[in-house]
Amino acid sequence: MKAQQNNSRSLWMIVLAVFVGLNSCTIEEQVDLNAPSVDGIEANATISELNNLVAGILHGQRNDLDIYLDDHAIIGRDFYRFSSADPRFTADIPGAGSAVLDNNTFYITRPWAAGYQVIRNAWVLRHAVANTSAPINDEQKRGYLGFAKTMQALQMLWLSNLTYDNPDGCIRVDVEDPDNLGPLVSYDEALDFIAALLDEAYDDLNNAGNSFLFPLSTGFASFNTPATFGQFNRALRARVAAYQQDWNEVLNSLAVSFLNPSGSLTLGAYVAFSTASGDRPNSMYISLPNLPSNARVAVNSWVADAEPGDLRLNKVAPRSEPAVSGQFSSNYDVALWSSLDDDIAIIRNEELILLSAEAKIHLGDLSGAIADLNIIRVAAGLAPYSGPSDPESLINEMLKQRRYSLFGEGHRWVDMRRYNRLDQIQTDNPDEDVWRYFPIPASEG
Amino acid sequence: MLLTVWRAQAQFEVSGSVTTQAGDPLTGVTVAVKGTNIGTTTDEDGQFRLNIPGTTATLVFSYVGFATVEKTVSSDNRRLEVVMVESSSVLEEVIISGLATTVKRSNAANAVAQIDAKQLTGIVPPSTFDGALQGKFPGVQISQNSGAPGGGINIRMRGITSINSATQPLFIIDGVYVDNSIIPPGLNVVSQAAARGSPRQFDQDNAANRIADLDAGDFQTVEILKGPSAAAIYGARAAGGVVIVTTKRGSSSPDAPRVRFSQSLGFQQILNPLGMRQWDTQKVADFYGAGSAEIQKFLDAQAAGKLYDYEMELYGNKGLISDSRLSVMGGNERTAFYASGSHRNEEGIVLNTGYTKTALRLNVDHEISEALEVRLSSNYIKASADRGYFNNDNTGTTMSIALSSTPPWAELHPLPDGSYPNNPYAPSNFLQTRDLITNNESVDRIIMGGTITAKIINTDVQSLKLLLQGGFDSYTLLTRAIFPRELQFQKDGNGTNGASIQGTTPNFTNNQSAILVHTYYTPSFTFRTQGGLTRESFKRNTIIVTATQLIGSQTNVNQAGSISTFQFRSQQLDLGGFIQEEINWDDKVIATLGVRADKSSNNADPNLLYWYPKASLAVNLTRFVDGLDPFSTLKPRIAYGESSNFPPPNAIFTNLNGVIIDGLAGSLVNNQRGNTAIQPERQQELELGVDIGVVQDRAVLELTRYRKVSKDLIFTAAVPPSSGYTTKIVNGGTLENRGWEITLSADLVRTENLSWFSSISWWKNRSEITELNVPAFVTSAFGATLGTFYIDTNRSATQIVGIGDPDLIEPGDEYVVYGDFEPDFQMSFYEDLRYKNWSLTFLIHWKKGGDNINLTQLLTDLGGTSHDYDDFTLDPEGILPNGPYRISQLGVSAAPFVEDASYVRLREVGLFYTLTGEQIGAWTSNLVRSAQIGISARNLLNFFKYNSYDPEVSNFTGNGLASGVEVNPYPSSKSFLVSLNVSF
């Protein structure tokens, strides 16, 4: 009996020792060792943290921009992307054989996610500006807000170009609360929202004083004050108005944009790339000559359809031997970018002149339109326009000039689609498709 | 006090001897008086002497490798001559039952798998510890990621436990928690396998698991606790199972060899070369175009006899292997030591790849007094692996992907001036890449541990022991990847003019525990109570510096035009406590009840205790009733336990990543959203089984059925990316694994000249996602076009789906189901035959079913070089050859990319001839006790239809489903060794 008591006494002593021991030590709350947190920044950011978010937006714009541009160029048959590492560039996107677009593959999921990541970063910036106790005045705050909203509108515009009038919807525009997202809206609703957001941003910029409290990248060298950034905002607004076929608005916006008929055609806003430490090189650039295993090569018809002497053919470089990948073949490498440090255009003067021409055609100012088109033709080393001057012919001419002026910059597919001419995009092989829109990414549910 | 009282009542002395059947005395045999704390061991002559209270008693004689014997003694019968019979019966094994206690398997309620040194390393000296485990544990699936030297494996015990969190087991060596991280070298900067970005995106870097560093040659036993029913006492870290290693200890026995020397020499070669496509003019014209200049190049090369077999040029090296080992042990009655040193050097099947490892160990045991004992273990390891540059990329630059698009008429060999021509067919001249790059992981590692055991109370009827245990595992891993600027893919604007990627990771893990064990004996019951406190701490700090735009041939990261850095830190502190009570009723019924509580800095509330209960019951029916012949053992058993799995580090935070644009520092939201309410995953396992032994347990059948439920699964769930995040950490589902494990082991023959031990295991597992609170999602592959894993309710967790014929899609589904990574079943045959001085041992491993996503063949098709490009075996209409057929299915159906990955392989085989001391003693003045010479091979025979180098492969390393996706790996090898072992 004594021994049994001894046994249970030992048991209870052990139990006691364990639980006294366990509760007498406490573990400190975990802190994030590796990075700042969103919650902390939104609650109370310093000025330098706000500026970090601005730079984050500019950086984020570069994420998967190459995929976005490849998507456009391949479907619009500007150029092909050959990659031995990823066959889907030459299968799904050009619809080779019976391949179709998938809703869970990089060509839609990656640019979609990258775009909304920038939009989220801009929301974090907007929230942080609203809550900050840093010493900044109302004008300076509206500078941040005008920037953030313009960038959100730009990203939504890019995304809506991919999903367009997909019957499942185009994009979500109400995404402020990540736990309570708005519905996928139609393409027309998306454009209305983007236009309104740009207008709201423009109002902020007009009340943002003379300078921003934050630096911008070299891509925005000409647009780094509230006033000049407002001109960039209006240029985007003109593009949106054209997509909305609101031709008066196109001209109104262009009037206060950086449109300059006598200025450099390359004047504009750019996404900046660099090979500097920690920075991001331009991944659209591939050194010449491209290898067939890793190439961007122009669709031959783009060269064949050009008028003789068009200087814009310098955007491609002839190959000594055709590049072949499966059923695709090309004699020209894309030479639109000349180094890993080259920037990629967001919007530039050349497009604005063409938008002006387009609006004038639709509003009946045909001679004004021809004058605009001739600026482009002459700059490309071509004779002034001598064809028929009826609206239909001028639209053909305008689309043709856009094809060569904006090669590889994400326009051809959109342009042919908004004029209902996708069936006029020539494919090299009969079994290819010219898709109208991308599927909504699977994870949008 | 009690002791003297009893002794005064009545006691008698018993003495005797213990011998083998051959009459040799057995030293160190444990002699215990049943139902008491009284016992002793036999001396050098096999003699023992014991004072026993009362007038009768039962003595239990036990010794490793021999069948346990029970003898009754009384004051009238005080002299015993005991003969012990050798036995390989698994029921004689002693296995872990708690943090500080063991139990004989014949009394265990769990199917704990255990192998000893002979099975672990005795057939073929393994390259790495991980490789030595494959195919040896029923219920455990161990698959290597590639053939790259230096290891890299994925272990799954009883199916997959978690979709996104850690699934790898906890490794404990002599009580020390040993780190098994996979730390990436940051090759992604060059390969862009996860697209451009930081070295954070690491899981395609093909890094080794750090457990591979360990030297298995020092291991005495390896035990695997496969699920929570056995591992609950390890609590919050035991979700993936626990691997417990006990290393060799010294011995003062005169029979034990004092010095052992082993030397193995051999080579390895590619396991399954695929061969190259046989080209002709028509094929060249078909592939490159009718007017292509390639036709003439092909004809010229053919005429000049310069069509090269580049597969064998790249993978054809016969890599030399040398493995040396020296161990010394000794001691006296109070102190024993074991010391060993080993060195291994192996070349890979690709030139300039290879592995070297040097390991030293010193284990010392010392008895300070009757009541106080110290055990110290220390281990130093220096290892270096050159792993080459393989697997997926997005730049076409890995050697294997460059090979896939290079035809045999390409001229890649160095020019007379030593420079390499560019490869016109790929971004990389893989011969240049092979010869010039470095991708090295090297580690310096110290693992030390110690245990102090104090017998606080030690009487005839009870004992109380205090165990203080502690240890640490400290290593520094250096990763060094050098891509010189003269590489085709680095120069002339094709890359970054060289890249030097150098990583340093100090990792420090330490753990301590204090455990009390109280044992109380009554004539028919033994109660064992244990309780303790544990503390584990983990620290890691990885810094990777990536230098590009290298200056000349410099590789120092400061000799570069562009430098970027990356740092990842993690820290974790866990505190735990446990209590366990074992009740043994005369070896008839053995019951265990226990509970563990854990808290951790990794949980959202670091001071919240999580509880893990366990309970088990084993009933030895043959001890209740006599005459159950032919059964010598009939033991139904049942066990239940719980464990958990921490949220991944930093799961509670939503981060902003640091970025740079034009010199402006930026913050960009991470695409993963944290969750401040995250809970650990919890596993609950119920295991039922029966052990059946016949003919004195010469043949034993162990049959186990389990059901393991993983609740609160942590998903990196896909969220609508329009939220700005692509994933969010959530507790979102339940996963169930059910399976069978059957092992039949038998001493088929045991005579003086001939013996045959056979062990056959069969196991299968089925998983099902029984609950999913997030939308079904794809994971761990390259999207539905190419085949992917897909997590969906009421489906297998490892199903593989893809796009395809809408008629094949079941109603309500989005994709066609093409397969499942989970094998139908697995089976292993371990056979150990001895005839006189000869021994033959082999292990056959059969994996039936289980599918892989094979993208190597697709990429090779697109390069036009597949070995079966021109065969007609796939197209159901017989129109297209295999290559064009597979390409034609791209974007149409994922069916051709999902392939059955069954195999049968002779994993290990060894044939040895042993000379005993008597046979050679005369020539060596009795210096040599025995010598053994033999030949052995790993992966000697392989049978599979899988259309690549090896069905055992993974492009991804890391947690969760990271297995079975193949993208141009470093091919697997088979190895042959000649070994000489001498004992002095």
Listed in sequence order, the residues at least 6 apart from A386 whose beta carbon sits closer than 8 Å to its beta carbon are none
Contacts with A277 from chain B: Cβ below 8 Å:
562-564, 660
Pair (B292, B205) in one structural domain: no
* Position B500 pLDDT exceeds 80: yes
Do the domain assignments include residue B463? yes
Residues of A within 8 A of B570 (CB-CB) are: 33
Banded model confidence at residue B198, pLDDT cuts 50, 70, 90:
very low
Q: Provide the pLDDT for residue A5.
A: 55
CA distance B863 to B857: 10
pLDDT at B628: 75
Q: How buried is B23 (Cβ within 10 angstroms: 0-12 exposed, 13-18 middle, 19+ buried)?
A: exposed
In sign, the C-alpha dihedral spanning B802, B806, B810, B814 is positive
Q: How far apart are CA B539 and CA B415, in angstroms?
A: 49
Say if the Cβ atoms of A443 and B719 lie within 8 Å. yes
> Is A7 close to B462, i.e. CB distance below 8 A?
yes
**B957 close to B205: Cβ distance less than 8 angstroms:** yes
The answer to which of A78-87, B619-628, B888-897 has the lowest mean pLDDT is B619-628
Residues B761-807 pLDDT 10s: 999 999 999 998 888 888 777 778 888 888 899 999 889 999 888 88
Share of chain B above pLDDT 90, in %: 34
Same domain, B449 and B428: no
Shared domain for B22 and B137, answered yes or no, is no
Q: Please tell me the distance in Å from B681's CA to the nearest CA on chain A.
A: 19
Phi, psi at B653, each rounded to 5°: -105, 145
* Residue B177 contacts residue B756 (beta carbons within 8 Å): no
Q: Do B464 and A10 count as a contact with CB atoms less than 8 A apart?
A: yes
Give how far A331 is from chain B: nearest CA, Å. Answer: 12
Nearest chain B Cα distance for residue A149, angstroms: 15
Q: Does residue B106 belong to any structural domain of this protein?
A: no
Q: Is the pLDDT of residue A34 over 90?
A: no
Residue labelled with tokens 């292993």: B828
Interface contact B292-A324, CB threshold 8 A: yes
**Closest Cα of chain B to A81: distance in Å?**
13
pLDDT tens, position by position, A218-242 = 999 999 999 999 999 999 999 999 9
- The pLDDT score that the predictor gives to residue A349 is 97
On whether both B279 and B265 belong to a single domain, the answer is: no
Check A35 against B195: CB less than 8 A apart. Answer: no
Q: In whole angstroms, what separates CA B545 from the centre of its chain?
A: 30
pLDDT digits over B213-222, tens only?
Answer: 888 888 888 8
In a domain, B749, yes or no: yes
- B425 and A55 within 8 Å at the Cβ level: the answer is no
pLDDT of residue B128: 73
- Strand B170-173 with B176-178, pairing: antiparallel
Quick one: B905 and B962 in the same domain? yes
Chain A residue with Cα closest to B426: A293
The pLDDT of B349-378, averaged and rounded, is: 92
Phi-psi group of B783: left, alpha or beta (phi > 0 → left; psi -120 to 50 → alpha; rest → beta): left
| Closest C-alpha among B708, B714, B681, B533 to residue B237 | B681
**Ordered alpha helix ranges (H), A169-246:** 187-206, 226-243
pLDDT of A374 strictly over 80: yes
Q: Provide the shortest C-alpha distance from residue A10 to chain B (in Å).
A: 7
pLDDT at B764: 94
- Give per-residue pLDDT as tens, B25-47: 888 788 888 878 888 888 878 88
Query: Average of pLDDT values for B139-148?
Result: 82
The mean of the pLDDT values for chain B is 86
- In the predicted model, what is the mean pLDDT of residues A64-89? 92
Measured between beta carbons, the chain A residues lying within 8 angstroms of B887 are 87, 326
Chain A hits for B600, CB-CB cut-off 8 Å, are 27
B135 and B60 part of one domain: no
The CATH number linked to B64 is 2.60.40.1120
**Contact status, residue B760 vs residue B745, Cβ threshold 8 Å:** yes
Q: What is the pLDDT of residue A168?
A: 94
The neighbour count for residue B558, using CB atoms within 10 Å, is 10
Confidence of residue A383 (pLDDT cuts 50, 70, 90): very high
Inter-chain touch B891–A100, beta carbons under 8 Å: yes
Residue of B297, B391, B667 best to disrupt the A interface, most CBs of A under 10 A = B667
Res A333 pLDDT > 50: yes
Task: Name the CA radius of gyration of chain A, rounded.
Answer: 27
In a shared domain, residues B951 and B966: yes
Number of Cβ within a 10 Å radius of residue A339 = 12
Domain assignment of residue B867, yes or no: no
Specify whether B417 is located in the same domain as B376.
Answer: no
Q: Could you tell me if B730 and B660 lie in one domain?
A: yes
Q: Contact B74/B56 with Cβ under 8 angstroms?
A: yes
Q: Is B712 left (phi over 0), alpha (psi -120 to 50) or beta?
A: left
pLDDT above 80 for B299 = yes
Residue B880 is assigned to a structural domain of this protein: no
Confidence (pLDDT) at A37:
84
How far is Cα B424 from Cα B907, in angstroms, rounded to an integer? 40
Which of A39, A59, A287 has the CB atom closest to B493's CB atom? A287
Q: What is the pLDDT of residue B195?
A: 56
Name the more confident of A156 and A326: A156
* Contact criterion met (CB < 8 Å) for A443 and B721: yes
In this complex, the residue of A3, A21, A112 whose CB is nearest that of residue B462 is A3
Q: Which of B375, B409, B436 is the last residue of a domain?
A: B436
Do B495 and B414 have their domain in common? no
Residues 6+ apart with CB under 8 A from B65: B86, B87, B88, B92
Helix ranges, A337-379 (H): 349-363, 366-379
Q: Which of A27-41, A155-169, A251-265, B60-74 has the lowest mean pLDDT?
A: A27-41
Rounded CA-CA distance B441/B184 in Å is: 9
Say whether pLDDT at B260 is over 80: yes
Number of domains chain B is built from = 3
pLDDT at B84: 85
Based on the domain organization, do B214 and B266 belong to the same domain? Answer: yes
pLDDT of residue B671: 86
B586 pLDDT above the threshold of 50: yes
Q: B395–A444: do the CB atoms touch at under 8 Å?
A: no
Specify the pLDDT at position B53. 82
**Cβ of B494 and A53 within 8 Å?**
no
Establish if B863 belongs to a structural domain.
Answer: no
Q: Choosing among A144, A171, A224, A293, which should be mutated to test the B contact, i.e. which has the most B CBs within 10 A?
A: A293
Tell me the pTM. 0.79
Q: Which residue has the higher pLDDT, B307 or A293?
A: B307
Domain carrying residue B294: 274-315+390-436
Which CA distances in Å does B746 have to B139, B788, B844?
A: 19, 42, 17
Quick check: B372 pLDDT over 70? yes
In terms of domains, do B294 and B407 share one? yes
Interchain contact, B667 vs A326, CB within 8 Å: no
Q: Residue B657 sits in a domain of what CATH number?
A: 2.40.170.20
Question: Which residue from A minimizes the CA distance to B720?
Answer: A444
Most confident of A231-245, B93-107, B406-420, B516-530: A231-245
Mind telling me how many Å the CA of B706 is from chain A's nearest CA?
31
pLDDT the model gives residue A4: 53
The burial class, CB within 10 Å (0-12 / 13-18 / 19+), for B753 is exposed
Percent of chain B whose predicted confidence (pLDDT) is above 70: 95
CATH of A38-284+341-429, one of 1.10.3450.40, 3.90.79.10, 1.25.40.390, 1.10.10.10: 1.25.40.390
Is residue B860 included in any domain, yes or no? no
Q: What is the pLDDT of residue B255?
A: 63
Task: Tell me how close the Cα of A145 comes to any Cα of chain B, in angstroms.
Answer: 17
Closest CB from A3, A60, A181 relative to B722: A181
